Amino acid sequence: MEENKYYVAIKFDTNNKAYTFSCDDKNIKAGTKIVVETQYGIEMGEVVKEPFLDPELPSELEIKPIVRVASEADIRQHDQNSKDALKAKSICQSEADKLNLGMNVLKAEYTLDRSKITFIYVADDRVDFRELLKVLAAIFHCRIELRQIGSRDKAKLIGGIGTCGRELCCKNFKNDFDIISINMAKNQLLALNIQKLSGHCGKLMCCLKYEDDTYKKLREGLPKMNAQIEYEGEKYRLTSMNVITKTCKLENKENAIFITIDDLLNKGVFKTAEKKTDKNEKTKELPQR
């Protein structure tokens, strides 16, 4: 059997990420509904990139072929599944509450053929849902999957508006989560207020990483905050710095001045802290020959 020669990129309702599948039809258009088999079962997605030749993916990664172009019956079934999933979510939450499981059910998803339904939930602790599985299987008469997600995945699933006034990055375009550290906030000279630096998920905001490399480069060769500096004959402490506007603030007990970073580097004399020695430390004598 001849292998498919073309590839298409497909997105699903639950994820902004595009997945690659193979096909033998080069005339499939963007926006076409496609039925495919994923790790979760038979699903319907939408073509976001028309057929192309080079998938540009690791050679060891298996690329599955599309099952078919979705028919009118497939589209109607998908729409009905979406409506029934809302009712299923409420039923699952009700049954979990009866069993005092401490689960917050966020979403229910049917596969296109309704052979499986997945309930996505969050919980503070690990949940023993064996009894709940029995109850749900008796109600829905299909395979049941209960999938616990973390706070970042919850924000991505639900969405919202960030402090910038725009839709959350994780909901809008981010496919994977970056590792964010408090050092990124320090590099950008931000006040270390965890509440202001945290996103809807309660974790450090992903956008801290966007400009981290730029701030690292701009801060190369600059003194650290609170460094002792002599400027125009007076001693100061560096209390704030803005590498974007290239200004900084110097303070001492009597005065506070704002100068440019260029003036700081050209006219300032940086004091290095002298290493303190222990007064009780005894001088070691060299052995006599």
Q: Which tops the pLDDT comparison, 289 or 256? A: 256
- Supply angle C-alpha 197, 201, 202, rounded to 5: 50
The predicted structure's pLDDT at residue 228? 93
Question: In which band, very low, low, confident or very high, does the pLDDT at 270 lie, cut at 50, 70 and 90?
Answer: confident
pLDDT in tens, 6-48: 899 999 987 778 889 999 888 999 999 999 999 889 999 999 9
pLDDT higher than threshold 80 for residue 263:
yes
| CA 20 – CA 64 distance, rounded (Å) | 8
pLDDT in tens, 160-188: 999 889 999 888 888 788 899 999 998 88
pLDDT in tens, 93-139: 999 999 999 999 999 999 999 999 999 999 988 899 999 999 999 99
- The pair phi, psi for residue 267, each rounded to 5°, is -110, -20
Measured from the Cβ of residue 188, the count of other Cβ atoms closer than 10 Å reads: 17
The predicted structure's pLDDT at residue 15? 77
- The pair phi, psi for residue 84, each rounded to 5°, is -65, -30
Give the orientation angle of helix 130-140 with respect to helix 72-98, to 10 degrees. Answer: 140
Mean pLDDT computed over every residue of the chain: 87
Q: Coil, strand, or helix at residue 172?
A: helix
Q: CB within 8 A of 167, min separation 6: which ones?
A: 159, 160, 161
The predicted structure's pLDDT at residue 172? 84
The predicted structure's pLDDT at residue 284? 42
The predicted structure's pLDDT at residue 175? 79
The predicted structure's pLDDT at residue 3? 61
The predicted structure's pLDDT at residue 34? 95
Q: CB within 8 A of 109, min separation 6: which ones?
A: 14, 40, 85, 117, 118, 120
Question: In which band, very low, low, confident or very high, does the pLDDT at 4 lie, cut at 50, 70 and 90?
Answer: low
The predicted structure's pLDDT at residue 57? 65
DSSP annotation string for 25-71 = -TTPPTT-EEEEEETTEEEEEEEEEEEES---S-TTS--PBP-EE--
pLDDT higher than threshold 70 for residue 76:
yes
pLDDT in tens, 186-196: 888 888 898 89
| CA 250 – CA 233 distance, rounded (Å) | 13
pLDDT higher than threshold 60 for residue 230:
yes
Structural domains in the chain? 6-70 (no CATH), 76-149 (3.30.300.20), 156-214 (no CATH), 228-270 (no CATH)
Q: How much is the average pLDDT of 48-76? A: 85
